[in-house]
A and B are shown apart, each in its own frame.
Chain A
């Protein structure tokens, strides 16, 4: 029910402005983008899809920031593990 999947907008419907075709891992479906009327997505942008509707745009900047945080944590962890290993060797 909470199921929301990220999908890439591939094309807008030529006649109906609130419909767009999205691509999820090679699977394509027409969805309703009416809920994003204030800032409609354009081809290439990513949206969150829930029961055939786009609920929100995926902010690439925020996604990158989230990944950077996780990478940072990952690197810090790697560094600490390395430090631990080195101290064991001595």
Chain B
């Protein structure tokens, strides 16, 4: 597969690993946060941590948009879906996220009409095919996915579809990163920047991290070599005392982002004053809602939702895992009460969640490129 296989070459990985090891200052520990759920997934799926020296720890951040949806919003969605006139459509990732009384999956088993879609455009198709039902699209995701929802809404408007609406749970990445940076419990040295979010917002929004907080940021692709190269670039900056925003994923990410996409979002959505992030609490201006001009497609306005705030189960430590304070296996309920089959929190439910990734893929060995380190030292 082109643009994929080349970036999965193991020999180049060894080479990069050697370079990375060579840049580690003896005695110094490095903590690099990867924000994006897709990066967490790749790191575990390909066993990338095996390529890094012990002094580098990868910390998994809150970049999993499924993981940060509070239970109350899941309850709201199921409430919507339970209306007999509604067909709820959703990405597969949402299906098993637990609300207070079960997930979409459980609701489906109870007879609720919830259908999995690959694209929001598939929801439009269902709406066209079912003119007597109300089709609601469960919109989740960061700025990566928001433009797709936006264009779908614009299409629905052009077509004059009257039975399509969106339950908007899109969140924005920058406030989450800022919350991490301002968090007292965390000392990070650098960020592996989200790749696909950046195709939309570009690289400029991260400049405040380098400028005001002095941490280097490298926007990274999703193949194993992309991530290793990004770590190399971060370590290079650190060893040279620089803190800048760099774009490793330049084959896909334009520095200025995608203006058309941003315009589409801007036309159909606006920032909410605040939004609750599971595990992180309320963050201001961190989520999107449907603009009043498109209120006929705002499921929250068309139908009433309970809107009850549900506290996380006491045992759940997702918040700390999402902030990177705890590693999955450090959570008290990891592997016992909280497993992929019986998830308590979203870190375990989403395939991109750090806990699910760690549980499913594990880390059976820890091998290090000793020879490379020796080489680098000479």
What residues make up the interface of A, taking CB atoms closer than 8 Å to B?
1-6, 8, 24-25, 32, 34-38, 46, 48, 50-53, 55-56, 58-60, 62-63, 65-67, 69-71, 73-74, 76-78, 80-81, 84
Contacts and interface: CB of A to CB of B under 8 A. Distances in A.
A56 B3 contact: no
A46 B2 contact: yes
A67 B295 CA distance: 47
A10 B145 CA distance: 24
A43 to B, nearest CB: 15
Interface stretch (B14-22, B53-61, B81-89, B235-243): B14-22
Contacts, number: 147
A34 B260 contact: yes
B37 A2 contact: yes
Contact of A35 (B64, B93, B258): B258
Interface residues of B, number: 60
A37 B260 contact: yes
B14 A77 contact: yes
Contacts of A62: 250-251
A35 B147 contact: yes
A2 B264 contact: no
Interface string B186-216: 0000000011110110000000000000000
Nearest to A19: B121
B4 interface: yes
Contacts of A66: 7, 229, 248, 250-251
Given A2-B352, A8-B2, A56-B254, 15 more contacts: A1-B64, A4-B196, A4-B222, A6-B4, A50-B148, A50-B196, A52-B119, A52-B121, A53-B151, A56-B253, A59-B252, A71-B12, A73-B16, A74-B12, A77-B14
